[in-house]
Structure 1
């Protein structure tokens, strides 16, 4: 895969009780800042951090499906860490020997969420983990805002030629746990 596009990495250490909630919030925040169609905003409160989200049935279903796939991979395996990839691309004419041969998706940006699930051993550990995760969520939101408003973040976005639905660009969310692609 060509890596000339920006790749933004987010590292999270999660608690079992808040894993799904946190991952949903982070995915929604990324989508909120990268879907350029008509979206309805919503807010998501997680660990005293307010994050933006997308109020769209298809986007919410996709996010829930991928978070559930991550959770099942973590619960069903020995690895307690995995990755969620959010990839944005554009449709371009595919040419072979100078002749048009259909269309292909060309990636223009990828987000990588590295997530590790840990179980606190005591109430003090839980409070410390929650405080650390809250700080990580704030940092994650800052990373998203900094990248999407930066010159590099704005330059990565292709020309929007037709406003289709919530996004003029195809996007995918993939999950990997223990090196196994869970879709």
Structure 2
């Protein structure tokens, strides 16, 4: 069987209750900013002193908010203190049956982004400042990872031909939330 390989990019995060939602929203927004190919109205988000790009679109904002809330509820529900959010970009291709007859369409991924999250609870104020500084550095590195990947040869060639230019994204986008290895939301 011929396996198709596509880029997978992982961003490891150590978060706490205080900053978890803002950081996850900012990173998802930044990835979408770099991977949406329609007419995008940009916005900026300030998190821990790091300016992150984003997309001002009600549908994308709702999707991000919904998935971050599902992730938060899964973590708070005690399922696990580890989890991941997987952002998958796909393209629609004709689905062929056993005898190469087209029987519909299927989503074929061309890139996946993994946000791996571990929970931490800094106790005293000195720990909080050190934790926030480390998290700000992680945000800066994540922006660097996004820029490096999307401008690299592998990142550019991963994008399929755009054949449908309607809407903010010509490609299906799927955000999956997993906490403790169980898909939620």
TM surpasses 0.5: yes
Q: CA deviation at 1:24?
A: 0.1
* Residue equivalent to 2:142: 140
Tell me the SS of whatever aligns to 1:163.
coil
Q: CA deviation at 1:149?
A: 0.4
Partners of 1:107 and 1:45 lie apart in 2 by: 31
Q: CA deviation at 1:77?
A: 1.1
- Residue 130 and residue 3 in structure 1: after superposition, are their counterparts in 2 closer, same or farther (change >3 A)? farther
Please tell me whether the aligned partners of residues 79 and 179 of structure 2 are also in contact (alpha carbons under 8 angstroms). Answer: no
Please state if 1:80 is matched with 2:81: yes
Q: CA deviation at 1:3?
A: 5.7
* Residue equivalent to 2:177: 175
* Residue equivalent to 2:68: 67
Superposed CA deviations along residues 154-173 of structure 1, whole A, max 9, x for unmatched, are 00000001212110000100
Q: Which runs of 5+ in 1 are unaligned?
A: none
Partners of 2:110 and 2:166 lie apart in 1 by: 18
Partners of 1:73 and 1:3 lie apart in 2 by: 32
- TM-score (ref. length: structure 1): 0.97
- TM-score (ref. length: structure 2): 0.96
- Residue 138 and residue 3 in structure 1: after superposition, are their counterparts in 2 closer, same or farther (change >3 A)? farther
Please state if 1:149 is matched with 2:160: no
Tell me the SS of whatever aligns to 2:11.
strand
Please tell me whether the aligned partners of residues 88 and 171 of structure 1 are also in contact (alpha carbons under 8 angstroms). Answer: yes
- Residue 171 and residue 40 in structure 1: after superposition, are their counterparts in 2 closer, same or farther (change >3 A)? same
Q: CA deviation at 1:78?
A: 4.5
